[in-house]
Amino acid sequence: MWELDADTLMFFDQHLDVLPLYQAFEEILFDSFSVVNKRVQKTQITFSNRHIFACVSFARVKRKVELPMRYIVITLGLPAPLDSERIAVKTEPYPGRWTHHIVVSTPEELDEELLSWIKTAYTFADAK
């Protein structure tokens, strides 16, 4: 059962409308993987095993008019670039590591495709 901690509540203070969406995302992570460490920071919440594999933020990864009213940005570190319309931004900050930003605004977007990308990121972070 998911419990809201004080740090997470503070992070979502100005975005309480997307807290249920974040909750669903966090539950997926903790239900899917045996080792998940969570760290709430000022601008993002990071999830790691040996290394960071996913982050949640409110980064403006598209022009404001292209963003939904309510959203979270899920950032994944992957070994190769993804080719999907769902990817808002992808960069290769260093060889062999691709950072992908995905805008999620509905629970339906927390689907099998996204879960497969998260699983790849989890494995990639654990192998480094």
* Average pLDDT of every residue of the chain: 94
pLDDT at position 29 over 90: yes
CA atoms within 13 A on the CB side of 20: 5
Q: Which residues are bridge partners to 75 per DSSP?
A: 55, 101
Task: List, in order, residues 6 or more apart from 95 with CB less than 8 Å away.
Answer: none
Q: Which residues are bridge partners to 90 per DSSP?
A: 100
Radius of gyration of the chain (CA): 14
pLDDT in tens, 112-121: 999 999 999 9
Averaged over 37-65, what is the pLDDT? Answer: 93
pLDDT band at 20 (very low <50, low <70, confident <90, very high): very high
pLDDT in tens, 66-92: 889 999 999 999 999 999 999 999 999
According to the model, what pLDDT value does residue 3 have? 77
Each domain of the chain, given as residue ranges in start order, spans 6-127
Strand-strand pairing, 72-78 and 52-57? antiparallel
According to the model, what pLDDT value does residue 67 have? 85
CA atoms within 13 A on the CB side of 114: 22
Integer Cα distance of 13 and 25 in angstroms: 18
**The model's pTM:** 0.94
Strand-strand pairing, 87-94 and 72-78? unpaired
Contact predicate 105/70, CB 8 Å: yes
